[in-house]
A and B are shown apart, each in its own frame.
Chain A
Amino acid sequence: MKKYLIAVVYTVLLALFTLYTVMDTFKAGTSTDFDLPRTLAKYTSTPTPVPALTAAPVVTATPSVAASKSETLTPTPTPTATPTIEPTWSADGYIDSNMSVKISRYREYESDIYVVDAVVNSADLLKTAITGVNKRGDYIWDYVSNISNSYDDLIISINGDCWKHKTTGYSIKNGVILRDTYTTASNGFITKEEPRQETLVLWADGSASIVKEGDYTAQELIDKGAWQLFNFGPALINDGENVAKTSFTTVDVANSRHPRTAIGLKDDLHYVFIIVDGRNGSTNRGVTCSQLAEFGMSLGIKYLYNLDGGGSATLYFQGEVLNKPCRKEGKIGEVTVTDIVYIGY
């Protein structure tokens, strides 16, 4: 024993350190608000069209975002208009003067699919939130439900593009550039067919575009009015055209069936979230990216972009997770992420 003292002591230390690292990695965090701005205050020239709500109630209030022309970022939540319709919650939606949120359930591709239609009267009602950092400066990973609970005025949320999962690639959240480097091959949906990472930009005027990194710098996108930039991919629908490739030669995960989360746009200021359950035997098989694009086309979606899926695919509404997140086959339960997308004030 004494002969191998160094090895024995070191093995014990290595095991303990490994255990600590695992626990440190997989524990859910608690600090969530990273003080991203929540209004379009810095977009001084933002047009503020009032959308036609597809749901029954009629919007009477005009958004007041344009009146706020401060050049500084304002992290304090600022309602965009004084509601004149009483906020009304139901099992499948929410409505007030500034937004209409409707959740629809579908059964397609042997999977439960949730579609959220959110019609808002200002682009800053669609927000992202990221987790805070720990003492070492690592971003904390937390459940969508935990992050969502940190926001009192959150109506509905989904997981985002898990921006800290990657170390490269543009990232813009609530008008703030979090990263401005190009995506590298190991970090994104870069394929032989498409060597530049496709991102989804949601503009401050409520429109959307699929933008490839390198077309503009992150700062140029901000200058043009980018409110959110999602960086995961691949793009599924671009300007009404199904752009999902039938095969991603270097990205097998796109071709196989998994739980999915996608974000899209039906019309200006009409956002769509799609959450597909999967990895649960024949109950929910999940979808390929091509199937997801096909489904989006059937709904008349103009822009659709694949976000972080797999076990991360989560839809949170009224204090509960509506779908069945599944990281491992048949094992239902949320996994931790670093950001969410939500509709709220």
Chain B
Amino acid sequence: MNRLFHRNSFVYLLISLFILLTGFIYELFSHGIYSMSMIYAYTPTLILGTLLNAVLERLKAYAPGSITKQIWHCGVATVTVGMLLNGIFQIYGTANKLLNLYYIIGPLLLATAAILYLTKDRNVKEQ
């Protein structure tokens, strides 16, 4: 069993639950104004964190190298923060073009990490 994937999967699950709860509480006090961005802000951590790590663990895949791992985490964090912020702005009734940067930089970091993982920056396959 790959401990790294197992641990990452669990930590991401906790983060997803925390974001889900935060979004739920925020929506409770939003006077009936809903934001899909806020409601689904937990999905990046759940899909790109918990589920992906669970799949990699099941596939007994190579563990990523330190740099790849950090870039991936940064990408997930960027997208998640962007969604939460977008949700807060939507519920408040405002917008900001700077939010686009989260949705550009986040996927770029994820893509970079994915390319690094698929090409070179991975550790020896753990059993």
Q: Of B10-18, B51-59, B90-98, which binds chain A? A: B90-98
Contact partner of A165 (CB less than 8 A), chosen from B66, B67, B78, B94, is: B94
Contact A138 B96 (CB under 8 A): yes
Contact B93 A4 (CB under 8 A): no
Contact partner of B95 (CB less than 8 A), chosen from A164, A253, A328, is: A164
Q: Answer yes or no: B81 CB below 8 A from chain A CBs.
A: yes
**What 1/0 mask marks residues of chain A from 25 to 37 whose CB sits below 8 Å from any chain B CB?**
1100000000000
Interface SS of chain B: helix
Q: Answer yes or no: A223 CB below 8 A from chain B CBs.
A: no
Q: Chain A residues with Cβ under 8 A from B33's Cβ?
A: 253, 310
Contact A6 B97 (CB under 8 A): no
Q: Answer yes or no: B120 CB below 8 A from chain A CBs.
A: no
Q: Answer yes or no: A258 CB below 8 A from chain B CBs.
A: yes
In the complex the two chains form, what is the Cα distance from A312 to B31 in whole Å? 13
Q: Answer yes or no: B73 CB below 8 A from chain A CBs.
A: yes
Q: Chain B residues with Cβ under 8 A from A11's Cβ?
A: 74, 77
The smallest beta-carbon distance between B116 and chain A, in angstroms, is 12
Chain A 279-337 interface residues, beta-carbon cutoff 8 Å to B:
279, 308, 310-312, 327-329, 335-336
Contact A25 B77 (CB under 8 A): no
Q: Of A16-24, A47-55, A99-107, A210-218, which binds chain B? A: A16-24
In the complex the two chains form, what is the Cα distance from A327 to B31 in whole Å? 9
Q: Chain A residues with Cβ under 8 A from B123's Cβ?
A: none
The smallest beta-carbon distance between A284 and chain B, in angstroms, is 13
Contact B32 A252 (CB under 8 A): yes
Q: Chain A residues with Cβ under 8 A from B95's Cβ?
A: 25, 164-165, 167
B interface residue count range (under 10 / 10 to 19 / 20 to 34 / 35 or more) = 20 to 34
Q: Chain B residues with Cβ under 8 A from A258's Cβ?
A: 31-32
Contact A22 B94 (CB under 8 A): no
Known contacts A18-B81, A253-B31, A256-B32; A24 and B74 CB within 8 A of each other: no
In the complex the two chains form, what is the Cα distance from A252 to B32 in whole Å? 6
In the complex the two chains form, what is the Cα distance from A133 to B77 in whole Å? 30
Contact A21 B96 (CB under 8 A): yes
Q: Answer yes or no: A58 CB below 8 A from chain B CBs.
A: no
Q: Answer yes or no: B85 CB below 8 A from chain A CBs.
A: yes
In the complex the two chains form, what is the Cα distance from A3 to B67 in whole Å? 9
Residue of B nearest to A139 (CB): B95
Residue of B nearest to A338 (CB): B94
Q: Answer yes or no: A7 CB below 8 A from chain B CBs.
A: yes
In the complex the two chains form, what is the Cα distance from A209 to B66 in whole Å? 64
Residue of A nearest to B109 (CB): A10
Tally of contact residues, A, Cβ under 8 A: 38
Q: Chain B residues with Cβ under 8 A from A26's Cβ?
A: 92, 94
Q: Chain B residues with Cβ under 8 A from A21's Cβ?
A: 85, 96, 98-99
Contact A165 B93 (CB under 8 A): yes
Known contacts A14-B77, A252-B32, A253-B32; A6 and B94 CB within 8 A of each other: no
Q: Chain A residues with Cβ under 8 A from B98's Cβ?
A: 17, 20-21, 24, 136
Contact A24 B32 (CB under 8 A): no
Chain A 215-259 interface residues, beta-carbon cutoff 8 Å to B:
252-253, 256, 258
Contact B85 A22 (CB under 8 A): yes
In the complex the two chains form, what is the Cα distance from A202 to B121 in whole Å? 64
In the complex the two chains form, what is the Cα distance from A167 to B67 in whole Å? 39
Contact A18 B32 (CB under 8 A): no
Q: Name 8 interchain pairs, CB-CB below 8 A, sorted by A.
A: A6-B74, A11-B77, A21-B85, A21-B98, A25-B89, A137-B97, A165-B94, A310-B33
Instruction: Report B's interface with A, CB cutoff 8 A.
Output: 29, 31-34, 36, 66-67, 70-71, 73-74, 77-78, 81, 85, 89, 92-99, 101
Closest 8 pairs between A and B when the two form their complex, measured CB to CB: A7-B70, A253-B32, A6-B70, A10-B74, A25-B96, A21-B98, A252-B32, A256-B32
Instruction: Report A's interface with B, CB cutoff 8 A.
Output: 3-4, 6-7, 10-11, 14, 17-18, 20-22, 24-26, 136-138, 141, 162, 164-165, 167, 186, 252-253, 256, 258, 279, 308, 310-312, 327-329, 335-336
Given contacts A26-B92, A138-B96, 20 further A-B contacts (CB under 8 A): A4-B70, A6-B67, A6-B74, A7-B73, A14-B74, A18-B85, A22-B85, A24-B98, A136-B97, A136-B98, A141-B94, A162-B93, A165-B94, A186-B36, A252-B34, A253-B31, A253-B32, A258-B32, A308-B93, A336-B94
